[in-house]
Amino acid sequence: MKRGFTLVELAVVIIIIALLVAIALPQFMRMQEQAKATQAKLKLDAIKKAELAFYAQNDTFTTNGDDLSAWVDTNIFDAANDNDTFWDYTLVRSGALTTQVIARATRTGGANNGDTIDFTINRDGTVTVGGTHPGAK
């Protein structure tokens, strides 16, 4: 009596493994992108706190990241010195700087290249989250 697997049995096993990978891989990629979005939101939250502290002292927001150096590591705004390889961070003027400013993270690379996560920071401390990245919601 011969021992071993037939070609049909091996093909069935390979097909089952391929189906499992096809189901699991997109979920893994989605979870990985959500983790990267969470990383961006944490840095945007630090920028938000720095902007509110700046506003408390100057009665205006700033779009110059160097102005926030007393409250946050300004390397966040310098892509060459920031260790975040997934996002670029900027401050964007939104109407009058005496009322609000937008802290923006722009995705660099990957399937969501160019997508954004925006924190619109108002002088009363409220933050509206928006942007085009799936993790912005």
Q: Where are the domains of the chain?
A: 7-136
Given a cut of 70, is residue 1 above it in pLDDT? no
CA distances from 45 to 28, 67, 133 (A): 26, 17, 17
Cα–chain-centroid distance for residue 47?
A: 13
**Token output for 113:** 């290249």
In this prediction, residue 84 carries a pLDDT of 73
Cα–chain-centroid distance for residue 15?
A: 36
Domain 7-136 has CATH 3.30.700: yes
For a pLDDT cut of 90, what percent of the chain falls above it? 49
Backbone angles phi, psi at 72, to 5 degrees: -145, 150
pLDDT digits (tens, 9 = 90+) for 20-78: 999 998 888 888 888 888 988 999 999 999 999 999 999 999 999 899 999 998 888 87
Question: pTM of the full predicted structure?
Answer: 0.80
